[in-house]
Amino acid sequence: MQKPDASIRLTALEGFPMIAPGDDLAAIILGSLEQNGIRLEAGDVVVLAQKIVSKAEGRFVRLADVTPSARALEIARETRKDGRMVELILSESKAVIARKRGVLIVEHRLGYIMANAGIDQSNIDHADGQEYALLLPENPDESCRQLKERFDAHFGTHVGVLINDSFGRPWRLGVTGVALGAAGLPSLISLIGEPDLYGRSMRVSEIAFADEIAAAASLIMGQTDAGKPVVHLRGLRWNSPDNAADALIRPKHQDLFR
């Protein structure tokens, strides 16, 4: 049975540099770990803000290069959004789930139900007076797998890697950290069949383990100008098999709200 940890330690890497397209993100993180006096051990988790992964992967789009379609312009009028941004959102989405003034909720091409397909204009360099937007990583689980391979090889151990992003929730105000991608840890842990305190078997309980890690890391990453996009976590223990963050996506046939 999964036992909770008595304590964990989260450390934001200080002095982390700004990331540009084409940067070797793994090498930069390894250098920052060394500068912060951290050597990864088995069971450690490295949590990365989505933006630095997207930046390294060159997921920038210049809005001047985007021509909105008739559908994008229609939705833009309804939502009071920039038609070019709406076109980008549609291009990254499978379906529009809900829309109203100031709100556009979509099913992202990777299955996430989220606002604006995760496309953002904050905390990026709008160079040469141009407006840019930043898309989510092409494949966050694969990005985590590749980073994990580099970290494991460098330290000769087995670590977890997680990409964190901020999501709103339909029934609660505010945003919280969630796992967009993960490798080397169980994103979803099933407690079905495990006994409770009185020996009664759990029937439906599953733990969004990776989301809980992401939310914890968000507390010290910050949401605005904190400049701490990488967090090292130590002290977690688990005995469930690894699964990627896409295991957290609820299948449509189980979704009672769309």
Q: How far apart are CA 53 and CA 32, in angstroms?
A: 15
Q: Sort strands 45-49 and 230-234 into parallel, antiparallel or unpaired.
A: antiparallel
Asked if residue 52 is part of any domain, the answer here is yes
Q: Do residues 44 and 105 both lie within one domain? A: no
Question: With 0-12 CB in 10 A as exposed, 13-18 as middle and 19+ as buried, what is 100?
Answer: exposed
Q: Which of 75, 147, 89 is nearest to 120 (CA)?
A: 89
Positions of E strands within the chain: 9-12, 45-49, 60-62, 93-100, 103-108, 113-115, 132-134, 160-169, 172-183, 189-190, 206-207, 230-234
- Per the listing, tokens 């070797």 go with 24
Asked if residue 257 is part of any domain, the answer here is no
- Report how many domains make up the chain: 2
Task: Check if the beta carbon of residue 66 is closer than 8 Å to that of residue 88.
Answer: yes
Write the CB contacts of 229 (distance below 8 Å, at least 6 apart in sequence).
16, 19, 48, 49, 51, 52, 221
pLDDT in tens, 203-231: 768 889 999 999 999 999 976 556 899 99
Q: Do residues 190 and 239 both lie within one domain? A: yes
Residue 1 has a pLDDT of: 45
| Cβ neighbour number for residue 241 with a 10 Å cutoff | 9
Asked if residue 256 is part of any domain, the answer here is no
pTM greater than the 0.85 cutoff = yes
What is the domain-level CATH number for residue 92? 3.90.1660.10
The boundaries of the domain holding residue 24 are: 9-57+136-249
Q: Do residues 187 and 236 both lie within one domain? A: yes
Task: Check if the beta carbon of residue 178 is closer than 8 Å to that of residue 211.
Answer: yes
Q: Do residues 107 and 206 both lie within one domain? A: no
At which of 134, 168, 192 does a domain end? 134
What 3-state DSSP class applies to 104?
strand
Percent of the chain with pLDDT over 90: 78
- Per the listing, tokens 């759990």 go with 202
Asked if residue 106 is part of any domain, the answer here is yes
Asked if residue 2 is part of any domain, the answer here is no
Q: Do residues 48 and 166 both lie within one domain? A: yes
Residue 170 has a pLDDT of: 84
Q: How far apart are CA 239 and CA 2, in angstroms?
A: 6
Phi then psi for residue 138, to 5 deg, are -60, -45
pLDDT in tens, 226-256: 689 999 999 999 999 999 999 999 998 888 8
pLDDT in tens, 152-171: 999 999 999 999 999 988 88
Asked if residue 211 is part of any domain, the answer here is yes
Q: Do residues 158 and 240 both lie within one domain? A: yes
At which of 104, 134, 164 does a domain end? 134
What is the domain-level CATH number for residue 24? 3.30.1330.100
Question: With 0-12 CB in 10 A as exposed, 13-18 as middle and 19+ as buried, what is 181?
Answer: buried
pLDDT in tens, 9-30: 999 999 999 999 999 999 999 9
Q: Do residues 45 and 118 both lie within one domain? A: no
At which of 134, 161, 184 does a domain end? 134
Q: Do residues 189 and 216 both lie within one domain? A: yes
Write the CB contacts of 126 (distance below 8 Å, at least 6 apart in sequence).
132
Q: Do residues 228 and 173 both lie within one domain? A: yes
Q: Do residues 97 and 213 both lie within one domain? A: no
Q: Which of 141, 126, 124, 131 is nearest to 19 (CA)?
A: 124
Q: Do residues 245 and 200 both lie within one domain? A: yes
Asked if residue 254 is part of any domain, the answer here is no
Asked if residue 146 is part of any domain, the answer here is yes
Residue 29 has a pLDDT of: 98
Q: How far apart are CA 190 and CA 208, in angstroms?
A: 9
Q: Do residues 147 and 221 both lie within one domain? A: yes
